Chain A
Amino acid sequence: MCTNKKYTLSDEIVDYINECLVKEHPESYLIAILHKVQGIYGFLSEIHLDEVAHLLQVPTANVYGVATFYHYFRLKPRGQFAISVCMGTACFVKGADSVLTSFKSELGIDMGETTSDGLFSLEGTRCIGVCALAPVVTINDRVYSNVVSQQVSQILNEIKAAERV
């Protein structure tokens, strides 16, 4: 392993990976490491994934396989407008699923993805504690309550229109 190579990953993460390397089965810490990287940078960039692979000596293809398998991991930075659909029990029962489906088809992206213009990203969250308003969607700091799937395109259009002026 190269120790003299400069990494763009923070020292904190490089140190953590080095700690993992002396443990048994270092590769089993991959997911924990990716969580840390996403925690600090908000998403998993290709360069970071490649650096994790080289530091941990796990093939880059395998690291990417893990990163794409879990919906939790984001491979692109969040959009300018981060849409998050609550998937908690109350929201789910009241139709969060179909709201999410509408967002997916309107934006042409899946959970954890960002539109190519960087405007919107989409994710699901756990209960955010306002179940009375279910189903709930937050876009950045704004909370939308009692959302039905028919509303989705209108919500998006309003944001886009506001962006244009």
Chain B
Amino acid sequence: MKYINAVIDGLSVSVEEGKTIMEAADSIGSHVPRLCFHPVLSTEGACRICVVDVEGYNNHLPACATKLQDGMIITTNSPSLRETRRDLVELLLDNHPKNCLTCERDGNCELQNLSYKLGVRERLFEGWRKEFKFDDSNVSVLRDAEKCILCKRCVRVCSEIQGVHNLSQMYRGVKTVVSPAFMAPMDESVCIKCGQCINVCPTAAFIERDETDKVWNAINDPNKFVVVQTAPAIRSAIGEGWDMPYSTSWTGKTVAALRRLGFDAVFDTDFTADLTIMEESHELMERLKSGENLPMITSCSPGWINFVEHFYPELLPNVSTCKSPMQMLSTLAKTYYAEKTHRDPKDIYVVAVMPCVAKKFEAKRPEHYSPNGYPYTDAVITTRELIWMIKAYGIDFVKLHEDEFDVPLGTSSGAGDIFGATGGVMEAALRTAYEKITGESIENLTFTEVRAVEGLREATIDIKGTLVNVAVANGLNNAKIILEKVKSGEKQFHLIEIMACPGGCVNGGGQPIPHVNKFIYPLDKDLVKKRQQALYSIDEAKTLRKSHENPAILELYKEFLEAPGSHIAHELLHTTYSEKSPKGIK
């Protein structure tokens, strides 16, 4: 490895060849202000906030887009550099709504933070202001183009990570705008509603649809019995809302907070994660027996479901017919639980707390309405929305004691917990499939072959002589690689797990956005790893680690569902999806 030697702010640095001036400066604690830069995405060089001076060059150079060269003498700070950066930020502000006080990103906005840090304290001129209609066509992702600063992070994440290519920069000059093709509303685009654009946007130009008002109203409605469920990934990240340590799970405090908010029953989506494994492994064994519709592809991730509908409709028969754990829980709440507690399902209001904005869309799909015309899931709020609710209510999350979930939809195995991490559904399924296929108890519960933060894994699992080819993909660009192999027949897979979001649900489009001053960007591999670790630790600490040993699940089958794949299980827990337009380009 070749090293490059240079001088930055009077200090000598030596870094591997190929690093940028920004990376070299970071290594010695010179944090050049930046805006369009994102460590996981390609370099755009659009904002020029990161300018530095290099001896021998007449112009300022962008630190994020300039490679360090031997012998460079670099200054990251001078009155002229600071003035340039400030001018650039002021230009952005001139064309920006002055809405900070009522803006979703107030307090955690990169533009606001830069403006503050660079010392912009007054606005000298009022420039020409671009005007765009607020796009709230989509039930998940809302678009406020007036707050867009054209950094193109969303364009990059949507194409480089998700392979959806929904967004591009349209027109030019003062009219430039980021938008789907034909300036179509988001709802009429190929957007798969993953919300990763929300996660990377430095401002509030992309936000989720806020459903907290609906939830407050339901809680305050004396005629409603309000049930809440929380997805596995919530417990791995909610503590970030109070700056609590990473790699730790906050299950008990989350339950306590939900109870204080006034929910009537607090259930765990992990319970139906276990149920998903029961149904899915049954389905897999059936397909292995008949040899039909293999490989089977998991169906938990609603962003992935949207993707397959728009981009790979020909593979829809391969998708598992299992509803997602969220939909299974909501369905059971309004059937099994309603019967058990003698409630009219119409009086039950189901709220789901999800790390995901695509779940908001999933909840409103016609496939997930009961035959009586009401939705099984009434409202979906993200981890971020739950954090606001807890703060708005005046609950000090840090001081809460640890509470337990309600029964019967609250008991789960460790296999349910790891659903929130990429590879988790696969691992949970393998634990159960192994025992079902061999009839023997499994010794080693962890399938490290399928654990990773990388986007793609393939493995062959030897189940006592039965070789099962599996693949795990997260981030849909990675999924495409596997799906193309399936289509070409290059490799015969049996089971494929796909999660739309990079790293799995722990890094979903509804998870907390780390505070700007932390310089940790969503998608950051370390952050993903820490959240995954939180889930793996819960699993390791549990004695109950296999879905098919969960006593509440066994009880549910005995009392209500009969057996995995039974007629009633099919009616309530399974569904199918269909091709959607516009058709995406692979």
Contacts and interface: CB of A to CB of B under 8 A. Distances in A.
A7 B179 CA distance: 25
B169 interface: yes
Interface string A110-131: 1000000000000000000000
A108 interface: no
Nearest to A46: B182
B9 to A, nearest CB: 39
A45 B18 CA distance: 44
B586 A61 contact: no
A63 B181 contact: yes
Nearest to B175: A110
Contact of A69 (B159, B165, B171, B583): B171
Contacts of B586: 57
B194 to A, nearest CB: 16
Contacts of B183: 64
Contacts of B165: 59-62
Considering residues A54, A60, A62, A64, which has the most beta carbons from chain B within 10 angstroms of its beta carbon? A60
B166 interface: yes
Interface in A2-61: 46, 49-50, 53-54, 57-61
Contact of B181 (A57, A64, A69, A110): A64
A68 interface: yes
B477 to A, nearest CB: 13
Contact of B168 (A49, A54, A62): A62
A136 to B, nearest CB: 26
Chain B residues touching A, range: 20 to 34
B170 A60 contact: no
B180 interface: yes
A50 B190 CA distance: 12
A57 B585 contact: yes
A40 to B, nearest CB: 20
Interface string B548-586: 000000000000000000000000000000000011011
B518 interface: no
A26 to B, nearest CB: 13
Contact of B585 (A49, A53, A65): A53
B159 A59 contact: yes
B181 A60 contact: yes
Contacts of B182: 46, 49, 60, 64
A78 B459 CA distance: 58
Given A59-B159, A60-B181, A61-B165, A68 B585 contact: no
Nearest to A70: B172
B167 interface: yes
A21 to B, nearest CB: 14
A150 to B, nearest CB: 25
A70 to B, nearest CB: 8
Given A50-B181, A64-B181, A64-B182, A59 B585 contact: yes
Interface string B177-210: 0011111000001100000000000000000000
A64 to B, nearest CB: 4
Interface residues of A, number: 17
Contacts of A110: 175
B166 A50 contact: no
Given A50-B181, A59-B165, A65 B170 contact: yes
Contacts of A57: 585-586
Interface in B147-182: 159, 165-172, 175, 179-182
Contacts of A69: 170-172
B170 A64 contact: yes
A54 B583 contact: yes
Contacts of A46: 182
Contacts of B181: 49-50, 53, 59-61, 63-64
Considering residues A53, A60, A61, A64, which has the most beta carbons from chain B within 10 angstroms of its beta carbon? A61
B274 to A, nearest CB: 39
A159 to B, nearest CB: 27
A34 B418 CA distance: 49
B69 to A, nearest CB: 29
A124 to B, nearest CB: 15
A63 B180 CA distance: 11
Nearest to A60: B181
Contacts of B168: 59, 61-62, 64-65
Interface string B426-469: 00000000000000000000000000000000000000000000
A58 B171 CA distance: 18
Considering residues B165, B168, B172, B180, which has the most beta carbons from chain A within 10 angstroms of its beta carbon? B168
Nearest to B170: A68
Contacts of B583: 54
A114 to B, nearest CB: 16
Contacts of A65: 168-170
Nearest to B183: A64
B239 to A, nearest CB: 37
Considering residues B159, B167, B585, B586, which has the most beta carbons from chain A within 10 angstroms of its beta carbon? B585
Nearest to B586: A57
A64 B172 CA distance: 12
A63 B189 CA distance: 14
Nearest to B171: A68
A61 B172 contact: no
A50 B167 contact: no
Nearest to A53: B585
Contact of B582 (A50, A58, A62): A50
A46 B183 CA distance: 11
A50 B584 CA distance: 10
A49 B180 CA distance: 13
Nearest to B164: A59
Interface string A97-112: 0000000000000100
14 contacts: A49-B181, A50-B181, A53-B585, A54-B583, A59-B159, A60-B165, A61-B165, A61-B166, A61-B167, A62-B165, A64-B168, A64-B183, A65-B169, A68-B170
3 shortest A-B CB distances, which residue pairs?
A: A59-B165, A65-B168, A61-B168
Given A46-B182, A49-B181, A54-B583, 12 more contacts: A54-B585, A59-B166, A59-B168, A59-B181, A59-B585, A60-B582, A61-B189, A64-B181, A64-B182, A65-B168, A68-B170, A69-B170
Interface of B: 159, 165-172, 175, 179-183, 189-190, 582-583, 585-586
